[in-house]
């Protein structure tokens, strides 16, 4: 299922629910329907930036959270397989940018409506 994050401050961000779930869990938000108010944006940004930094420090643990982690295919080197994985930082980037914009423009972010 897709989640469409919307804000007046930036373009819509679409994410698969399984990818957004980790972000929403960190923010204690419901994936079905919710809001990050303008007042919550700074704290949400801080929480997600911390998690991104941690995932970059420990990339091996990042894979366990990615249910679509790229597995090594026949004829593929281990190095190439690892390079094909999409980590938390890359998945969270569009929503981080939306949060930055929402914080700067004092706007809320909504989804599920």
Domain assignments of the chain as residue spans, ordered by start: 2-62+78-111
Provide the 10 A C-beta neighbour count for residue 52: 19
The stretch 16-20 carries a mean pLDDT of 91
For residue 64, CA distances in Å to 1, 45, 84, 88, 96 come to 21, 23, 15, 11, 21
* Model pTM above 0.75: yes
Of the candidates 7, 35, 3, 5, the one whose C-alpha atom is nearest the C-alpha of residue 19 is 3
- What's the pLDDT score for residue 63? 59
pLDDT tens track for 24-77: 999 999 999 999 999 999 999 999 999 999 988 887 666 545 545 555 556 767
């Amino acid at each position: 299922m897709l989640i469409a994050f919307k804000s007046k401050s930036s373009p819509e961000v679409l994410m698969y629910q399984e990818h957004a779930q980790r972000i929403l869990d960190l923010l204690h938000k419901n994936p079905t329907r919710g809001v990050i108010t303008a007042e919550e944006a700074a704290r949400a940004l801080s929480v997600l930036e911390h998690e991104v930094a941690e995932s970059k420090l420990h990339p091996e643990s990042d894979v366990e959270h990615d249910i679509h982690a790229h597995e090594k295919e026949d004829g593929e080197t281990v190095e190439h397989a690892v390079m094909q994985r999409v980590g938390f930082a890359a998945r969270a980037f569009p929503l981080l940018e939306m949060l930055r914009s929402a914080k700067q423009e004092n706007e809320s972010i909504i989804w599920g409506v």
